[in-house]
Chain A
Amino acid sequence: MTDTTWDPSKPILEIDNLSISFFTRLREIPAVMDFSCKVMAGESMGLVGESGCGKSTVALAVMRDLGKNGRIVAGSIKFKGRDLTHMTDDELRHIRGSEIAMIYQEPMASLNPAMKIGAQLAEVPMIHRNMPRAEAWALARQIVADVRLPDPDRILNSYPHQLSGGQQQRIVIAMALMSKPALLILDEPTTALDVTVEAGIVDLVKDLGEKYGTSMLFISHNLGLILDVCDRLCVMYSGEAVETGNVVQVFDKMRHPYTQALFRSIPLPGADKNARPLVSIPGNFPLPHERPPGCNFGPRCDYFQAGRCDATEIAMSPVPGDDRHASRCLKWTEIDWDAPMKAKVSKAKTPIGRVVLKMDDLQKYYSISGGAFGGGTKKVVKANESLSFEAREGETLAIVGESGCGKSTFAKVLMGLETATSGSIMLFDENVQSTPIQKRNTDTVSSVQMVFQNPFDTLNPSMSVGRQIIRALEIFKQGTSDQDRADRMLKLLDLVKLPRAFAERMPRQLSGGQKQRVGIARAFAGGAKVVVADEPVSALDVSVQAAVTDLLMDIQRENKTTLLFISHDLSIVRYLSDRVLVMYLGHVVETGTTDQVFQPPYHPYTEALLSAVPIADTKVVRKRIVLEGDIPSAVNPPPGCPFQTRCRWKSQVAPAGLCDREMPPMRTLAGGHQIKCHLPEAVLTQMEPVIKVAAE
């Protein structure tokens, strides 16, 4: 093809001073400004930043697919020396899919629901290489095998909805590899997947990148993933690249205040939570049309110097001595990068009090009717199976697990939105397991409240913030008059550190973190004693996560609240919880104090989960354990131990086949640490820690 003219020692992709704007009826909104980067052959480049920083826009600009309103206003994008910005549609079509391929965030949405997988894959070589149909299908079959999918023939003849999320993403990857592209763009390819599935995809991408010698542009908000996958990275903030360089150099020797702040706001499992508390970045991400003059990060920067940082546009300046390392900061040479963080005011941990919540052998089964046609046999979904635990006053209990593990059902049963099938829930000595919420008294209802996951969904979009909090006060019979309730509402806003003026605002005028704060205020309106936080920060940007987490913990400390923190993110769990409960397919597989769970012996699932979480720390050495396959469906769980289909320790259980037949008992180890596993004592004690911090 056109490769003959291109010298492989030159960059595959060279973006120079790229600026992109979106044009609306009211104004021009600059999305990316003065962005430059180079990707060499075989290199993988990471683009990292929070939502709205313009990283996906850069990717789409490379594909020249900015939509009707988006336009490249300046700069050039050279692919193999040819400028993509001036190509005709016809020329672009020859490059798209054949030389540059893209992988997207939502695998399900990326595949055509009405076309067989095989047809979608085979289409690529049929378009670009005029390959005959049969040959194209044969190639598709080979690539499907390459992305480690079992039974390629069956897969080629299925429709996308018949595959699981992980399999779909593998198909999307296979589709991108069909024509062996020179450049692969991956836009948050694993965000929609569970962590253990994500680990498999990440491994696959790395291996295939090496196998085919493909260069990659890897877009992610997750610094840990970037460290796993990329050679170089580019940190973006509000439409600009603020720091770029070799991954290890940037991670260890960051030279931009934003990069530093970003690292300080994420919990790292290697670090101690008292010695290295989370520091959130103050303020909010600027809106694209309200960017400050000079440095975009200026208003939120600790090192900001008025008159200098906000005077002129700032250019990238290279960091000498490093490998193409550069920072968009005027003061980077003046800042003492090794200075220890300001010691945070240490807050005394509240003593853990009496048991407020006790669940005993709780079971929740659903019956669903099978088939799309309404008829058919009824199936039983065992969402929760023999769930037992206690939670004490002032304690943070983390419930960890991936999708389908039953943690949301558990929350619903506790809240009284569903009633348990069997077992008991004692809430302050009151048995509530079969009392639906309508029959609970106001005190019980107001003392158990919930913080929801999705900030864009948690508030009623057509009711003002203040009104929503007042409504909670009314329902919880707080306050004596309307005036009194309005005062209390303002106090609650103070509590969650929101300006009082927000009472009048509508939810759409708030950012994700602010909405989540309102959700917290609403939950605490009735003086809640038990708060269930269902992944309260997972949908927020990392810099905001820390602040919301801290807020929750502060309120907990003051009110002696019992916090049930549901999460799949082990880093944050380790940071804030006292005790941890690991769930898999409706079963509690491991429970103990945070230290017990994060140290060996592990339950095999906990081990895999720990290993799967990417860690943004170059000093951490992590054992790679990639689980085979996907999480089984709760409708059709495997016999015996729920985890046996993916367990790497299964062979060490004697007698062989025990795991396939029998549900393991809950065993209590030293210090009240409980594990539901058949593994013999000897094997458990020999387990090695998954995460080791390399000596400095």
Chain B
Amino acid sequence: MDTELSWGPIFARMALQFLPVWVALIATFAVSIHFRRRLGLYGKLFDSPVGMLGFGLVMFWVFTALFANLIITHDPLGQLSGLKNAVPGSALQDTKGDTLYPYYLLGGDSLARDVFSRMVMGARRVLAIAPAATAFAFMIGITLGLPAGYLGGKLDTVLSFIANLVLAFPVILLFYLLVTPEIKDAGYLFTVNLFGAEGSWRASIPNVMAATLFLFPIIFLTILFNSRYFTNPPMRNLYVGITLLIGFWAYSGLAFNADPTGIFSMDPNLLNVFVSVVFVNAPTVFRIVRGIVMDLKARDYVAAGQTRGEGPWYIMLWEILPNARGPLIVDFCLRIGYTTILLGTLGFFGLGVSPESPDWGSTINSGRKLLTLFPHPAVAPALALMSLVLGLNLLADGLREESLKD
């Protein structure tokens, strides 16, 4: 039996492993290109080679995250003897009755785990957190940036000061302070006894921040629907009711870990990372939204809304916000990329993640110790992270270019 594959077969075998991704990609592109004239801005993306390339890269990783279970060749946490720091393409020495994939396609890391499978699983972790954290940051930035830009005055001064405060904080210092194990143990412990079920919640900084930050999406959606449908109470009650019901259900689970059904819950470590990333991103979104609002509020259609007696929130959310979507969508893509980089940074410093975690930042971190001798455990996730962020940047560039053409 061969002990080592050369690069040709390695790539061929990897391509084969990614088969579900290829199928999904081709299907997505075929459908999108076919209907592109009816899909608005998304459709126009397929007129731009840059945008298509970016979209392709992003979707590659999205599908990889979705089909990760089908793609991996080994258990990302499993260690196999003899494959410590094995070079890419190394064959398994003990095949254990042919149930295992016979090669470590991208070699083994310093704990003899399969680099390829860890990289694939890492995508799942990154893509589970980055877009969600960015979305939260956007809801917070929008909910605060709209009134700051539209109403101005003292509110704007205070909010802008706070935003600048957070932005003046060197990110890495903030992470070192917020994402530490000790921080979870500080703060008053509340205990409640509800129908015999004992529950406790510690007012630690991440928990308090989560309780505050996670409230914003609910506020955002409630105001959104209320301002639009207040002329039609039954409809308003329906939308606002649904928002509040689902919102507070999710809220109780995510912020207080008290969801009785257990659908919404978050590991404390993850919560800590998530909250910190949202916290770092929200002020920038705030500033962008505020700037756009200041520009758009001088438009006549805003004045028309005012002269027919619309409330400020309707004007902000339904007259101004939809017209700010272009730059916001572009920034959303860029910001997912930035969040991915931040998550990698956290992993790289070993903050807030368990050492086993296959996320790209931690893998690079563990790989860097033997970098000059065995680069492959660090290079594989590094390239993966780079290609995802590159894809997001290209996608943003394509969107920007296409949204300007009209």
Q: Residues on A close to B: CB < 8 A?
A: 25, 415-417, 437-438, 440, 442, 445-446, 448-450, 452-454, 457-463, 472, 474-477, 482, 508, 519, 522, 526
Contact = CB atoms under 8 A, between A and B. Distances in A.
A522 B304 contact: yes
The interface centre, meaning the residue of B309, B310, B319 with most chain A CB atoms within 10 A of its CB, is B309
A676 to B, nearest CB: 30
B111 to A, nearest CB: 53
Contacts, number: 62
Interface stretch (B20-28, B170-178, B295-303): B295-303
Q: Which 8 A-B pairs have the closest CB atoms?
A: A462-B322, A452-B300, A457-B300, A445-B309, A474-B231, A460-B301, A458-B300, A415-B307
Contact of B304 (A438, A474, A519): A519
Nearest to B312: A438
B307 A459 contact: no
B308 interface: yes
Nearest to B320: A460
Contact of A450 (B47, B307, B311, B319): B307
A453 B309 CA distance: 19
A450 B301 contact: no
Contacts of A440: 309
Contacts of B307: 415-417, 437, 445, 448-450
A526 B307 CA distance: 12
A457 B303 CA distance: 10
A460 B308 contact: no
Contact of B306 (A437, A472, A477): A437
Contacts of A416: 307
Nearest to B235: A482
Interface in B367-384: none
B69 interface: no
A503 B393 CA distance: 38
Given A438-B309, A457-B299, A457-B301, 19 more contacts: A25-B47, A415-B307, A417-B306, A417-B307, A437-B309, A446-B308, A448-B307, A449-B307, A452-B300, A452-B304, A454-B300, A459-B301, A460-B319, A462-B323, A463-B318, A475-B308, A475-B309, A476-B308, A477-B231
Contacts of A438: 309, 311
A475 B300 contact: no
B309 A442 contact: yes
B323 A461 contact: yes
B325 interface: yes
Given A417-B306, A462-B325, A463-B322, A474 B301 contact: no
Nearest to B231: A474
A161 to B, nearest CB: 19
Contacts of A461: 301, 323
B6 interface: no
Interface residues of B, number: 20
29 contacts: A415-B307, A417-B307, A438-B309, A445-B307, A445-B308, A446-B308, A448-B307, A449-B307, A449-B308, A450-B304, A450-B307, A452-B300, A452-B303, A452-B304, A453-B300, A457-B299, A457-B300, A458-B300, A458-B301, A461-B301, A461-B323, A462-B322, A463-B318, A474-B231, A475-B231, A475-B309, A476-B308, A477-B231, A522-B304
Contacts of B318: 463
A460 B322 contact: yes
A463 B303 CA distance: 16
Contacts of A472: 308
B232 interface: yes
B2 interface: no
Nearest to A25: B47
Contacts of B323: 460-462
A459 B322 CA distance: 13
Given A457-B300, A461-B323, A474 B311 contact: no
B406 interface: yes
Interface in B225-239: 231-232
A438 B325 CA distance: 27
A454 B301 CA distance: 10
B102 to A, nearest CB: 50
A462 B320 CA distance: 9
B80 to A, nearest CB: 54
A474 B229 CA distance: 10
Nearest to A460: B301
B240 to A, nearest CB: 17
Contacts of A457: 299-301
Nearest to A476: B308
Nearest to A459: B301
A442 B308 CA distance: 9
A474 B232 contact: yes
Contacts of B47: 25
Contacts of A417: 303, 306-307
A445 B299 CA distance: 20
A453 B304 CA distance: 11
Contacts of B306: 415, 417, 437
B304 A458 contact: yes
B381 to A, nearest CB: 39
A436 to B, nearest CB: 10
A450 B306 CA distance: 10
Contacts of B406: 508
Contacts of A463: 318, 322
Nearest to A472: B308
Nearest to A445: B309
The interface centre, meaning the residue of A449, A454, A460 with most chain B CB atoms within 10 A of its CB, is A460
A289 B115 CA distance: 57
Nearest to A454: B300
